[in-house]
Amino acid sequence: MVKDSEHPSPHLLAAQRYLHSMTAKISLCACLAALVLALPSAALATSSSSPSPNTAASKRALLKSPELWATIDVCSPTDQPDTVGIRGSMPGNGQAGETMYMRFRLQYLEPTSKHWIDLTTATTPNFAAVGGAKAARQAGRSFQLVPVPGKPAFMLRGVVSFQWRKGAKVVESVSRPTTAGHKSLAGADPTGFSAATCSIG
């Protein structure tokens, strides 16, 4: 049996959430405190493509949209050591009365079981509203971790959960793990960085 002390989980130092609305090339940044030592950040982006009203076919199209993704856009760059940034993108469904929400989780690969485990201190406790559902939106959160001295580096990934709501009712929901090959409208460090996983340690 492997003792917990032999494979400790990563330790979270701080998290920050960056939230800004983007219409064309104009962005408005709004900060909101969250988690321990958290300084907010997420991105909203408008898009010309939107599925038709809420039919079964349009919901399927929504969940298969190329605008629905999660990625790691920060992985311990020199100016943000031991920091992992997660960004999500979700398509609008064209419904004026609906709002879109995201929730972010950071997971580490447990060395023995090879299972992805939630890093509970790096999970946003609530869904955050990222804007109206008439256009696509992006949002992100970054987490600063403390490497465990003398231990191997941890492999990390993000999971973003998405919700489309009409008032208090959840119309549709889905989660996506981080994958590579996506374009962050803001927050990527270096510019254009997109990865499925990040090693810290």
In this prediction, residue 59 carries a pLDDT of 79
Residue 127 vs residues 32, 34, 43, 88, 89: alpha-carbon distances, Å? 13, 12, 14, 13, 14
pLDDT at 148: 77
In the chain, which stretches have pLDDT less than 50?
1-5, 17-54
Q: Is 134 helix (H, G, I), strand (E, B) or coil?
A: coil
pLDDT of 105 reads 93
Please check whether residue 48 is in contact with residue 91, taking contact to mean a CB–CB distance below 8 angstroms: no
How many Å apart are CA 75 and CA 72, to the nearest integer? 7
What are the CA-CA distances from residue 99 to residues 23, 58, 130, 137, 142 (Å)? 17, 17, 8, 11, 23
User: Which pTM does this prediction carry?
Assistant: 0.75
In three-state secondary structure terms, 196 is: coil
C-alpha to C-alpha distance for 70 and 93, rounded to whole angstroms:
18
pLDDT for res 126 = 87
Q: From CA 83, how far away is CA 72, in angstroms rounded? A: 11
Q: What is the pLDDT of residue 181?
A: 97
Please give the pLDDT value at position 37: 29
User: How many C-beta atoms surround the C-beta of residue 76 within 10 A?
Assistant: 20
